[in-house]
Every structure is written in structure tokens, then in C-alpha cells.
Structure 1
Amino acid sequence: MSETQLKTNERTALRGSTWFITGIGRGLGRHIALEVLRGGGRVAGTVRSRAHAEELHRQFPGQLWTAELDLSDFAKIPATFQAAAAHFGRIHAVVNNAAYSLLGAAEELELEAINHIIATNMTGSIELARAAVAHMRPLGGGRLLQVSSSAGQAAFAGLSLYCATKWGIEGFIESLAQEVAGFGIQTTLVEPGTIRTDFGSSGVLSPELDAYRDGPVGMMRQMATGGYLAPGDPAKMAKAIVATFEAEAAPPRLALGQDAYGYIKAALLSRLDQLEKYKVVDTDCDPAPDAAVSGQ
């Protein structure tokens, strides 16, 4: 299939489809919403403030429905999704996008901040996925796209809790995919590298301890606060994400950006190397061939 045919088919698939997208007020979520709307699709989007969607409403009257939603407010998630479905009818694709970063060494983090990022990035995403499945299952299927990160497979000093939420949501989505495949629901884990958006400005910096200032956590702080220009183009990433809707089979994972590919590949190779290095120790834990299985 040529590039022209792919673009044409993608637009045909988009026209008349309805997407539920979180976090369309800024960053990658906004670019995804724009890509869908420009392709003739409809968007039910969530924002932290309705003011963030005013310009989109002016550009795409009739194609856009929005609601204010904080993913840490779990009780509102099913009701918001149901309201979107009541407005547009069937939801064909859900993009679980809203998230934020928490930068600091694990020792520096406060418990309240730890609980909030887990609630927003992981538990809230799980609740939205559950609402999406409840809607899609009786209708014969749909697409669930979870925006994770290269930090969902690689680990970075200073981002331990952000990584924890992304690793956690990836495990959830992989398990969920097995549960719902028989209902025609396909999942994709979107794993961007660093993105040239204002995501960093929505992140949270923990109080700093002098002991970590000159190490890798301090270097990460300098990058976050020193005007580091991320390589990832959010508009191009949005096009790649939306293009998966045209494919008959959704990609289980979609790494976006050269840095994401490099980080993820290095992390996977490192884990494989560790697996092989310590496999003798691991197999020593197995029972002898003639031993009875105790179940313990």
C-alpha cells in the first residue's frame, strides 16, 4: 500500500468515528485531538479547565464535546465516559493520555505526592480503561490506546515514581489485552520518547536534598529546568498514533522517536543479558525431576 493510499484510507476510517481522548487541552493529547478532528472524526475530550478547549470548539463546531475531568477523581470517570457516549453514541477509540511527571530522588518524595501521581497516572487510567471496556464489549469491539512512555520499559534516575506508574499501567494493559481480545477490543501501548511540548511545565519537582545534587538525579533536574529541547515532534507522533486506527490489527506497542527506540532496546537487551547471566541460579530453584511437587 502506497503512502497516498494509507493516508486516504486513514481519513476514510476516521470520518464518522468517535474518539474519547483525555488531556486534550495541551501537549500530545491536543495534537491527537486535532488529527482526529481534521480527519473528519469526532472527539469527546477531557480537560482540566474548559477554557483550554475554547479554541478547538470554535474550529470544530459539532465535532467536539468536552468535559472537565481530573483522573484522580475516580468517581467521575465512569459518569464522564457515559455522558460522552450519550452525546455521540458509540465510542470507537479511547486514548488514555493524561499524565504528569514527578521529578526527584525516591528519598526526596513526599507521600502525598507519591499517592497523587499513582492515582492520576495509573489508577485513573485503569478506571478509564474499565469504563471503555464496559462500553465496547457489548458493541463488538473498539480500540484502546494507552499513552505510556519509553519510561514504561526503561528506568531513569529521578523519575522513579513516574516510571513506576508507567511500568504498572503497561502490565495492566498487557493483561487486559488478553482478557478482552475475544470481544474484538484491541489495545496499543504508545511509548513516546521525550516530546517537544509543555509537559515538563505540568510536572512536579520534589524538594531537593544536597546529597543528590551532584549525581544523576541532579543532572535530571538540570535538564528539566534548564530549557532542554526534546527531540520528539508531537504533531508527527499524533499522526502515527491516529494512523494505527486504519490498520486491521492494532500494534500491541508503538515506540515513537529515536530516543524511545534506543532506550527501550537497551533496557530489553540488558534484561535479557541478566536473565541469561543468572539462569543457572534460577533453575537451581526448580525441583529435581523425580521429586514430588509440594505446592509451596
Structure 2
Amino acid sequence: MTKTWLITGVSSGFGRQLTQQLLASGNTVIGTVRNTNKIADLEKQYPDTFFSKLLDVTDTAAIHKTVDAVFSEHPTVDVLVNNAGYGLFGAAEELSDAQVDKIIGTDLTGSIQMIRAVLPHFRAQGHGRIIQISSYGGQVAFPGNSMYHAAKFGIEGFAESVAQEVSAFNIGVTIVEPGGARTEFRYGSAQVADELPAYEATPPTHLRRCWTQLTG
């Protein structure tokens, strides 16, 4: 049985792969992106089942506007996949305030607001499934990745609480915790803080260099 899926961040990585597989199976996908050029091929190949929406998930007002539009344009939306996010490497002291704010706004607050925006619509239609893309980094922590872990630990706690709040409305919540995968996460979207000399030869620097070197 085919479904209608709303997926954030479909231009690359898991979002792109999931979208391609769903479309090939006959499902309908509404995918959010920040650059429509990256999904022009999908729009051309699936003109009747793939629909793109420009969205920056750090913009809460835009989230609510986009979600409302999606549910008004489609008879039903069965699944939300919160996929948009990125990594940030560097010791906590090395990170700038702007880097901290951005990753929280994208990986944590953005996912929270997407969930909050779809819930009234899921309740009204009597069903829905939220799939939250997290990470094994939502369960364990490594040096040099503190803010990514903070966001993933946070969204997992939020999702687990929401799951209990909305089960009575036939709304389910699934947390997905991938490990390492060959996506653009490390070598495309990830950001790296400027190194402080004091952290030379310490665990954050060692791990960051392993994660960011183009070794595949």
C-alpha cells in the first residue's frame, strides 16, 4: 500500500536515498530542500508523485506555513521523516556561538518544530507516523562532537516523550539511529571548528582529523 511522505532534507544523504526508493515503489513524497537545483532530476522523473518545498528548518514560522500548505494540498499525509541535519566537529571550547546556535536550530529545534507542526494535522486525519532520524550518537558520546550529541540526545528525549503523548490518537513515533554510512555527512555537510593550539594532541583533535580526512 503506497503512502504520502513528508521528508525534510531530501537533496542528499539518507533523505535522498529514501526519497528515491519510495518514489520507485509508487509512493508520493513531499521533500523539503534549501536548493531546488539538487532535486531537479526527481521533479522531472516523477512529476506526479514528487513535490518539493523550499524550507530552512531553523525558520519556525516557515515550518508552520509549509506544513499547513502540504496538508492542504494533499488529501492525507501519512508519514513525517525528520531527516534534515548535519554534523559539527570540534571541542566545545573551539566552537563559536554561531555554530552552537545553528546546529541546535537545525538538528534539535527544527525537528521539534516539524513534529509540533504536523501533530494537529495527524490528529485531525486520525493517523500518522513520525520517523525521527537520530544517530548512534544519540546514545553514546565521543570527544570533539559535543553539540551534535547534545542535539541528538535532546531530540531522542523529546521524541520518546511525544510518543507517549500521542499514541492515543493513532500516531506513532519511530527513532532511527544509524551508524557510519557513505553519505555526505562527513565530507559534504559537516562543519569543523577552528582548532585551538591548546587542544593539539588531545582526543578531540585526533578524532576530528579521522572524521574529516577524505578517506571514505
Matching residue's letter, 2:214 = G
SS state at 2:98 partner: helix
Aligned counterpart for 1:208 among listed residues 195, 201, 205: 195
Q: Cα RMSD (Å) of the superposition?
A: 1.0
Aligned counterpart for 2:207 among listed residues 217, 220, 241: 220
Cα pair 1:20 1:91 within 8 Å, conserved: yes
Matching residue's letter, 1:146 = Q
Matching residue's letter, 2:203 = P
Aligned counterpart for 1:40 among listed residues 15, 26, 33: 26
1:72 offset after TM fit, Å?
Answer: 0.6
Aligned twin of 2:12: 26
Aligned twin of 2:97: 111
Give the Cα–Cα distance (whole angstroms) in 2 for the partners of residues 43 and 123 of structure 1.
Answer: 23
Per-residue CA deviation, residues 46-96 of structure 1 (Å, 9 max, x unaligned), is 011111110011111110111111111111001111112222221100100
Per-residue CA deviation, residues 100-159 of structure 1 (Å, 9 max, x unaligned), is 111100011111111111011111100000111111012111110000000000001100
1:190 offset after TM fit, Å?
Answer: 0.4
May I ask how many residue pairs the two structures share in their alignment? Answer: 215
Greater Cα radius of gyration, structure 1 or 2: 1
SS state at 1:94 partner: strand
Aligned twin of 1:162: 148
TM-score (norm 1): 0.71
1:31 offset after TM fit, Å?
Answer: 0.6
Matching residue's letter, 2:60 = F
Aligned twin of 2:54: 68
Which 4+ runs in 1 deviate beyond 6 A?
none
Matching residue's letter, 1:197 = T
Match runs of 1:120-131 below 5 Å: 120-131=106-117
Give the Cα–Cα distance (whole angstroms) in 2 for the partners of residues 159 and 26 of structure 1.
Answer: 22
Aligned counterpart for 1:194 among listed residues 170, 180, 186: 180
Per-residue CA deviation, residues 10-59 of structure 1 (Å, 9 max, x unaligned), is xxx2x2x1000000001110011111111110001001111111001111
Give the Cα–Cα distance (whole angstroms) in 1 for the partners of residues 75 and 203 of structure 2.
Answer: 49
Identity of aligned residues (%): 43
In structure 2, runs of 5+ residues without a counterpart are: none
In structure 1, runs of 5+ residues without a counterpart are: 1-12, 230-296
Matching residue's letter, 2:211 = A
Give the Cα–Cα distance (whole angstroms) in 2 for the partners of residues 69 and 156 of structure 1.
Answer: 31
Give the Cα–Cα distance (whole angstroms) in 2 for the partners of residues 98 and 195 of structure 1.
Answer: 16
Matching residue's letter, 2:72 = A
Give the Cα–Cα distance (whole angstroms) in 2 for the partners of residues 54 and 189 of structure 1.
Answer: 29
SS state at 2:129 partner: strand
1:206 offset after TM fit, Å?
Answer: 0.6
1:204 offset after TM fit, Å?
Answer: 0.9
Matching residue's letter, 2:206 = M
TM-score (norm 2): 0.97
Give the Cα–Cα distance (whole angstroms) in 2 for the partners of residues 151 and 104 of structure 1.
Answer: 15
Q: Which has the higher contact order (CA 8 A, sep 6+)?
A: 2
Give the Cα–Cα distance (whole angstroms) in 2 for the partners of residues 127 and 48 of structure 1.
Answer: 17
Per-residue CA deviation, residues 224-259 of structure 1 (Å, 9 max, x unaligned), is 221233xxxxxxxxxxxxxxxxxxxxxxxxxxxxxx
Measured at CA, do residues 228 and 216 of structure 1 come closer, stay the same or move farther in structure 2, by a change above 3 Å? farther
